[in-house]
Amino acid sequence: MDKFIRVDMTTKQIATLDVPEKYAGLAGRALTSNFVADEVKPTCHPLGKNNKLIFAPGLLSGTTAAQSGRLSVGGKSPLTGTIKESNTGGTFSQKMAKMGIKALVIEGMPAEDKFYVIKIGMNGVVIDDAPAEIIGGCGNYKAIEVLNAKYGPKVGIALAGPAGEYRLPTANISFKDPEDHLRSAGRGGLGALMGSKKVKAVVIDDTGAPLSVPLAKPEEFKAAAKVFSQALLKHPVTGQALAAYGTDVLINIVNEAGGLPARNFTSGRIDFNDKISGETMNATITERGGEGKVSHGCHAGCIMRCSQWYPDQDGKYITSGFEYETVWALGADAGIQDLDDIAYLDRAMDDVGVDSIDVSVAIATAMEGGLIPWGDGKAALDIVKQIAVPTPLGRILGGGTAIVGKLCGLFRVPVVKDQAIPAYDPRSIKGIGLTYATTTMGADHTAGYAIATNVLKIGGYVDPLKKEGQVELSRNLQIATAAVDSTGMCLFIAFAILDIPEGFNALVDMINARYGLSLTADDVTALGKSVLKVERAFNAAAGFSNAHDRLPEFFEYEPCPPHNAVWDFTPEEIDEVYNF
Amino acid sequence: MSVQDKKAIEVRGFLQLDQVFKKRNWPVPLLIDLEKPITGIELAEKLEIPIDEIEIIFVNGFAQSLHCIIQPGDRVAFVPPGCPGPYRMALGFYSKNQENKFSFTLKDKKEEQ
């Protein structure tokens, strides 16, 4: 019988319960969002006692299925004020699933000013005092060393970094990956929520747990898992390009399309793209050798391996999970042209525990506001490191793009619901703009990421600069994404399961064989719709309306070169995205 | 537009074609004089790029099929199969690449079948 663990930080009471009946068929984002909608007061302050933090593995987490090690983390967002599901790799999800833990809920708030570590093992849950050396600005890399030494090298770890301790709106929750490096539930400030509960870390030790979760139909599962893996490995996106170039392969492509936001969204193209592209990243890692790795998996069972270890000139590891959106924001948007400078910034943001999209976009905004010079990677690194102190300037940057823009007196502030717009200009790639505007999460490219077959019919023929088909494209991408986010699967599986139909069928077959169900593709779509409706209802009760589903006004009157496109969707057209 | 000579086109190669271009010591971008319009297929053949290693070409910032006519002065980029994300949809790749089966299945994997 799966467990539902609740930790009350007010009383320090721990309850290990049976899974409530209504959550029995849910996992991942479907579970976190339904739980938040059920139990969190929509109008509560995100850092107050009434907010709750929930961790949930996906439907297929803990199985041998490829790409199934993702974890959903939910709560009311300290950054956006909306519901939030933030998704991460690492080792945590698979350990939870193998231990039969359906969800971990952290609620309440201690009266005392003291940080704790929640330790979960097969024999139960305990609350320890946090080691003094990891409190008060200790970087996440060091904190993992300390916690490994105390609890054992194989434990899984979720951390509120210094930014989380200081409850900054961009604080992420950092997760240990299989090699003691960092992955992040990055967006929406859930690290601040964890910090508000005075939880510095959650440590999970699966010693004694089964090697895999129980399967209703093991042979059928094994057969479907094989088909699924083969689909991933034979597709050019998931079987080749992501492993070779990572997500940073998009720099050249989106730049060529004129949709790479540059110099705080004043252009859609740069001329130094070759310095920061995925192709250059690959060549640099290969040439430097040492600890560098062109490809690397963020969790056990990852066969796409889109992550990498980026080394310095001497071959020493700097950072991993060096994503396109981070490189874009610091490179194209902030004008930092040295990939090494960007790598050190990526490491520093991981170390201090902030979202590397929101803070990187905030750096570009700070440059436009005159706080630091354009393109100055060293100055940017200095401010990021100030977050760990924190200095007033560090706190401002850790406040995110919306706060920096406001304090600098700017109108060109690229956020929706106070969350920074990522690396695709909505004027030149209009379908993405609709997702930014309407997603329940605040501007988030991963909210419309997964692709289902019905999208191919609608979206495969859109013109990026025209409106036709874009509403249907955004709607269906968001529905499919909400479903995939509930499976524990990496969103990148979408590329293969669209083009190779047996791959999609195998995904459904694996869920059925895991639980003894007979779901169809339509059921998966229905799940996605239901998740979005629950999230939308929470946001409405929290005070959000259609009027919040809008892009910043400057997109309407500042043409974006080279196509000189503007954002021209009417409010009524935008509101059609959620008309289902 | 950095093209100085209106007869010239700018050409770029992405993903593995980036290394192909660099190994041939071609500058970024490669400038090629064009006396008359040619198709993307003809340009690929001129540059000895295998057709099945191209998913789409960008012409002046728009995803196009290899049948697209390239005019003197245009900016062109060759994109092999492998662009991730919903951008394959949002940029319109899917209506341009149906002829190349290797846009959907890796060449060596296809040959194994």
CB-closest option in B2, B55, B106 to A240 = B106
Report CB contact under 8 Å: B84, A460: no
Q: Are A199 and A118 in contact (CB under 8 A)?
A: yes
Q: What is the rounded CA–CA span in Å between residue A53 and residue A57?
A: 14
Cα–Cα nearest to B40, from B49, B29, B30, B31: B49
Residues in chain A within 8 Å Cβ distance of B86: 431-432, 448-449, 451, 459, 477, 494
Q: Helices marked H in A88-217 — which ranges?
A: 92-98, 140-151, 162-165, 190-196
Q: Which of A420, A450, A485 is the last residue of a domain?
A: A420
CA distance B100 to B113: 17
Is B90 close to A460, i.e. CB distance below 8 A?
no
Nearest to A129 by CA among A115, A140, A119: A115
- The answer on A438 and A409 residing in a single domain is no
The four Cα atoms B90, A276, A240, B79 give a dihedral, to 10 degrees, of 50
Domains and CATH numbers, chain B: 8-112 (3.10.20.30)
d(CA A257, CA A269): 8
Judge: B80–A236 Cβ closer than 8 Å, yes or no: yes
Largest CA distance in chain A: 62
pLDDT value, residue B97 = 74
Residues of B in contact with A495 (CB under 8 A): 84-85, 88
pLDDT value for A452? 61
B98 close contact with A: CB closer than 8 A: no
Kindly state whether residue A210 falls inside one of the protein's structural domains.
Answer: no
> Could you give the CA distance from residue A164 to residue A539 in angstroms, rounded to a whole number?
23
Give yes or no: residues A537 and A390 share one domain.
no
Instruction: Give pLDDT tens digits for A510-532.
Output: 999 999 999 998 998 899 999 99
Of A427, A562, A277, A565, the C-alpha closest to B74 is A562
- Same domain? A405 vs A543: no
pLDDT tens sequence across A102-113 = 999 999 999 999
Question: Tell me, what CATH number does A12's domain have?
Answer: 3.60.9.10
Tell me the shortest Cα–Cα distance from A323 to chain B, in angstroms. Answer: 13
- Cβ of B41 under 8 Å from any chain A Cβ? no
The count of residues in chain B is 113
DSSP readout, A69-87?
A: --EEEEEE-TTTSSEEEEE
What are the counts of helices (DSSP H) followed by strands (DSSP E) for chain B? 4, 7
Q: What angle do CA A539, A578, A545 make, to 5 degrees?
A: 35
Neighbours of A523 (CB within 10 A): 15
Q: Mark whether A371 and A463 lie in a shared domain.
A: no
What is the spatial distance between Cα A469 and Cα A473, in angstroms, rounded to a whole number? Answer: 6
Domain end among A372, A390, A420:
A420
Per-residue pLDDT at A455: 60
Q: For B75, which residue in chain A has the nearest alpha carbon?
A: A256
Whether A447 and A487 share a structural domain? yes
- The ipTM assigned to this model is 0.93
| Token duo for residue A198 | 């005075």
pLDDT of A458? 56
List the structure tokens of A407.
């304090």
A65 phi, psi to nearest 5 deg: -60, 135
**A411 found inside a domain:** yes
Q: Which residue has the tokens 């790749």?
A: B93
Query: Cβ of B2 and A257 within 8 Å?
Result: no
What pLDDT score does A299 carry?
Answer: 85
**Within a domain: residue A232?**
no
pLDDT digits (tens, 9 = 90+) for A289-348: 999 999 998 888 899 899 999 999 999 999 999 999 999 999 999 999 999 999 999 999
Specify if A224 maps to a domain: no
Is residue A222 one of the residues assigned to a domain?
A: no
C-alpha A141, offset from chain centre: 19
Residues A325 and A473 in one domain: no
Q: What is the per-residue pLDDT across A358-376, written as a single tens digit (0 to 9) for each?
A: 999 999 999 999 999 999 9
Strand order in the sheet with A317-320: A293-296, A307-311, A317-320
> Which of A229, A249, A253 should we substitute to test contact with B (largest number of B Cβ atoms within 10 Å)?
A253
Q: Chain A closest CA to B26's CA: distance in Å? A: 13
Range of the domain at A550: 430-578
Q: Is residue A67 part of a domain?
A: yes
- CA–CA dist A474, A448 (Å, integer): 6
B94/A460 touch (CB, cutoff 8 Å), yes or no: yes
Q: Are A564 and A425 in contact (CB under 8 A)?
A: no
Q: What is the largest CA-CA distance in chain B?
A: 48
Q: Whose CA is closest to A397, among A377, A418, A371, A423?
A: A371
Identify residue A337 by its one-letter amino acid code.
Q
Q: Quick check: is A391 in a domain? A: yes
Identify whether residues A406 and A436 lie together within a single domain. Answer: no
CA dihedral A431, A432, A435, A441 (to 10 degrees): 180
Q: How many Cβ atoms sit within 10 Å of the Cβ of residue A370?
A: 11
Which of A136, A169, A204 terminates a domain? The answer is: A204
pLDDT digits (tens, 9 = 90+) for A546-580: 999 999 999 999 999 999 999 999 999 999 999 99
CATH number at residue A479: 1.10.599.10
Domain count, chain A: 3
Contacts of B79 (CB under 8 A, 6+ apart): A253, A256, B14, B15, B54, B55, B56, B57, B58, B63
Let me know how long chain A is: 580
Mean pLDDT for all residues in chain B: 88
Q: Is A105 helix (H, G, I), strand (E, B) or coil?
A: strand
- Do A235 and B102 make contact, defined as CB atoms within 8 angstroms? no
Rg (CA), chain A: 22
Residue B109 confidence (pLDDT): 64
Residues A293 and A350 in one domain: yes
The answer to whether the CB of A548 falls within 8 A of the CB of A573 is no
| Residue A47 sits in the same domain as residue A185 | yes
Same domain, A13 and A120: yes
Query: Which tens digit of pLDDT belongs to each residue from A41-83?
Result: 999 999 999 999 999 999 999 999 999 999 999 999 999 999 9
CATH code at A272? 1.10.569.10
Distance CA A471, CA A521 (A): 22
For residues A192 and A170, give the distance between their C-alpha atoms in angstroms, rounded to a whole number: 8
Report the alpha-carbon distance of residue A227 to residue A231 in Å, rounded: 6
Average pLDDT over residues A179-191: 96
In angstroms, the separation between the Cα of residue B27 and the nearest Cα of chain A is: 11
Q: A167 and A263 in one domain? A: no
Q: How far apart are CA A474 and CA A554, in angstroms?
A: 22
What confidence tier does B1 reach under pLDDT thresholds 50, 70, 90? very low
Q: Are residues A440 and A508 in the same domain?
A: yes
Pairing outcome for strands B56-59 and B75-79: antiparallel
Q: Which amino acid is at A408?
A: C
Alpha-carbon distance B89 to B104, whole Å? 14
* d(CA A431, nearest CA chain B) in Å: 6
Contact A249 B82 (CB under 8 A): yes
Q: Is residue A39 situated within a structural domain?
A: yes
